[in-house]
Each structure stands twice: as structure tokens, then as C-alpha cells.
Amino acid sequence: MKRIDEMNLKNKKVIIRVDFNVPLDKNLKIVDDNRIKESLTTIKYCLDNNCKIILLSHLGKVKKESDKVTKSLKPVATRLSELLNQEVKFIPATSGRLVSDAVNNMQDKDIILLENTRFEDLDGKKESGNDPELAKFWASLGEVFINDAFGTCHRAHASNVGISKYIKESCLGFLVLKELDNLLPIIKEPERPFVVILGGAKIVDKIGTIKNLVNIADYILIGGAMAYTFLKAKGIETGKSLIDEESLAFCKEMLDKTNKIILPIDHVKSLDMESDEYLIGDNINSEEIGLDIGPKTIELFKSYLEKAKTCFWNGPMGYYEKAIYQKGTKALCKIISNLSITSVVGGGDTASCVINMGYKDKFTHVSTGGGASLELLEGKELPGISI
């Protein structure tokens, strides 16, 4: 697929698939606008080219009619408007007359944002199922399609892949290009030593990525609940810690295959996840739950990171939703921010932690796509990029 800077966009009507899948609180206020800010480069470039701009995005999953209340993109239009200092017209529809009339009435440099593309999923999963009629309709709205939604590039939906089949020209936007420029060298030519840090809870979603990274990385440091599944696979007592039972056999296979995997040597633990009482210790007894990496593990991980030239990090080191279990994740942010290395964060929870803890600018790159960055590091071709 072409790059946006290889296209002639002058005075064109462009459709940009952006990733405005941002977290909203109970009052429908945007909690983290990082993805909106990251989309500005492409939008401003199109404004400089005197384009008429039609924005498409999803926001969460839409499974029932009542989801329409909590998954509307209206607050995003308001925020984007503030960031651009110009009106962004919100169209409360995804298809039909309301949309085509709004598009037909656009002037140069006008921006419109359609409602959440996944509202179309209520009618036979048209967006997620890549319905050709829906893709054709969206394609009919403009002359050039720009895919700038890295977070959905691992999915073939109507608004990011289907649409490109029915429009004259398509290209990748600056956000996607930046993601590729930062993520691909990690698996192709990482400066060594290359250290991978993995955390979070589920292993099953990351098996392909772990298998690929085991061949590429020099060391894989594992924290979070994921570490307990590996420790259990080694025959170590993990008490009532969260275990991904279906991945135990895989963990054992990995531990037998390589000695690159480095596991925690102490833990922050408790008898109850939600209690404020915790202990630190080298072992976990049958009643305890491991909830964060301990101070000795932080020092151990630091010793590997200090030797590294490249690091990639996916997954928090503990149950970070509770402040007392954020120390491991925060400590790694601090350690990495003091090193002059290529440091890449793979989206999802880890990106939110790094951003909320105030370390975003200290990393070489913080990806906007959790699933997409993992699939890219698995060595897969992503449908949204190969279109």
C-alpha cells in the first residue's frame, strides 16, 4: 500500500479511517485522548492540502441497542474540534441520506466525523463482518481512502479493509507509518542486547508473539499474572494467583526450550486482591495471591535492562488498577526512562500505564495498538496494511 506522502491529495475529498477508540468514563468524558492527538498529523496534512475530510472510526464493541448511548463518538468530535481549533461536524449516523447529504454539502477544509462504525454491527455485523455493500457506500463518499487506524490493522472490517476495494486510491496515514517505522525494526534488526518485557494476565492471546520473540530476543523478562503461569509450569507454588490454565503446557514447552526467560524472584502478595494489606516475600503460600513484582525482581530486571540496547514492553507488572500494586510497573517506567536505549511500548494497558504515569515522552515509541502491535511482532502480515 502507498504512503500518504506519495499521493496527490490537493483539493481531494478524503476518507480517513482513524482510531478514536478512546476510554470514556461514566459521564462519557474522555479519560485518555492520546489516540485523538496521534491522529492530528494526518488530519492537519489533509487540511494543508485543502481537502474535504470525512472521518470514520469505531469506539468499543456495539452488541445491543443500549450500547449506542455509551459508545457514541460525539464527545470525540468535541475534543477533536478543541485540538484543531476548528469545527468538526458530528453526523449522528453511519450510512443513509443524513451521511450522503452532509458529505455533498462539504466545503474545502471541512471536517465531518460519522457516528461509530460499529453501530452497523447491530444490523448483521456489517462493519466487523466486512459487508461489501456497506464498504461500497463508505467508499462512494470520497476519492481517496487513508488508513490511519493502526489499532484495527489486524482486523479486516468494512471501514478499514473493505472500503479500499471500492475506492480509486488508498494509502497509509502518518500514524500507521510511524507505528511501522518503530515496530518493524524490532523484529527485523534489533540493536542487541534486545530485551522483551511481558506482563498482564492472559498468555493465550500472546502465544504467537512469544514464540516469535523467543527466537529474536536475547532475554524475556516476565512479570504480571503471566509470571505465575510460568512459575506454576515450573512446579513452583503460586497459591491463589491468577493462572492462565490453558497455557500451562505452552509455558512448560517454552521453559524447556530456552533459558532466555527470566521470572520474578520475589512478590508483592495478599490474601485478598481488594484488601489494602499486602506482604513482600520470595515465596507465595497456598493462601496468597501474587499481585506485583517485588523489589528484588525490580533489581533483577534492571540489571538486564541496563545492558540492553533495545527493549519492547507489553503488559503491566502487576494488578495496576489498584494503586498499591503499581510499583513494579512504575519502577520499570523509571528505569527505562533513565536509559539511552530504543524503548517501545506495545499499546493496550501498558501504553495507558506509561501515559498515565507521565512517562510517554521518555520512550522511543508508545504504540496506539495493543493487538495490532502484538500481531506485527508475531511476524504476521496485517490485513489493514497489506490492502
Alpha helices in 142-294 (DSSP H): 174-188, 207-216, 224-233, 248-257
Taking CB under 6 A as the rule, does residue 347 contact ligand AMP? no
Residue 79: burial class (beta carbons within 10 Å; 0-12, 13-18, 19+)? middle
Spell out the residues 6+ positions from residue 289 whose beta carbon is closer than 8 angstroms to its own.
239, 240, 241, 242, 269, 270, 271, 272, 273
Task: Report in angstroms how near the CB of residue 279 gets to ligand AMP at its nearest.
Answer: 14
Stretch near ligand AMP under the rule CB under 6 A, chosen from 41-49, 155-163, 178-186, 313-321: 313-321
Task: Report in angstroms how near the CB of residue 145 gets to ligand AMP at its nearest.
Answer: 31
Helix (H/G/I), strand (E/B), else coil: 183: helix
Stretch near ligand AMP under the rule CB under 6 A, chosen from 164-172, 197-205, 279-287, 334-342: 197-205
Taking CB under 6 A as the rule, does residue 318 contact ligand AMP? yes
CB 365 within 8 A of CB 376: no
Side-chain-facing half-sphere of 282: CA atoms under 13 Å: 1
Task: Report in angstroms how near the CB of residue 78 gets to ligand AMP at its nearest.
Answer: 29
Taking CB under 6 A as the rule, does residue 290 contact ligand AMP? yes
Of 35, 36, 19, 41, the closest CA to residue 352 belongs to 35
- Binders of ligand AMP among 13-72, rule CB under 6 A? none
Among 76, 201, 251, 382, binds ligand AMP (CB under 6 A): 201
Residue nearest to ligand AMP according to CB distances in the complex: 200
CA angle 342, 343, 348 (to 5 degrees): 150
Task: Report in angstroms how near the CB of residue 242 gets to ligand AMP at its nearest.
Answer: 4
Stretch near ligand AMP under the rule CB under 6 A, chosen from 38-46, 107-115, 179-187, 317-325: 317-325
Taking CB under 6 A as the rule, does residue 351 contact ligand AMP? no
Please provide the distance, in angstroms rounded to a whole number, between the alpha carbons at the two ends of the chain. 6
Among 291, 374, 376, 385, binds ligand AMP (CB under 6 A): 291
Among 225, 254, 263, 377, binds ligand AMP (CB under 6 A): 225
**Site mask for ligand AMP (CB under 6 A), range 234-273, x = bound:** --------x-------------------------------
Cα separation, 213 vs 125, in Å, equals 34
Task: Report in angstroms how near the CB of residue 354 gets to ligand AMP at its nearest.
Answer: 14
Spell out the residues 6+ positions from residue 286 whose beta carbon is closer than 8 angstroms to its own.
237, 239, 240
Hey, which residues are catalytic here? 35, 202, 348, 371
Helix (H/G/I), strand (E/B), else coil: 3: strand
Taking CB under 6 A as the rule, does residue 321 contact ligand AMP? yes
Strands 52-56 and 89-91: unpaired
Residues that bind ligand AMP in the complex, under the rule CB under 6 A: 199-202, 224-225, 242, 290-291, 315-316, 318-321, 348-349
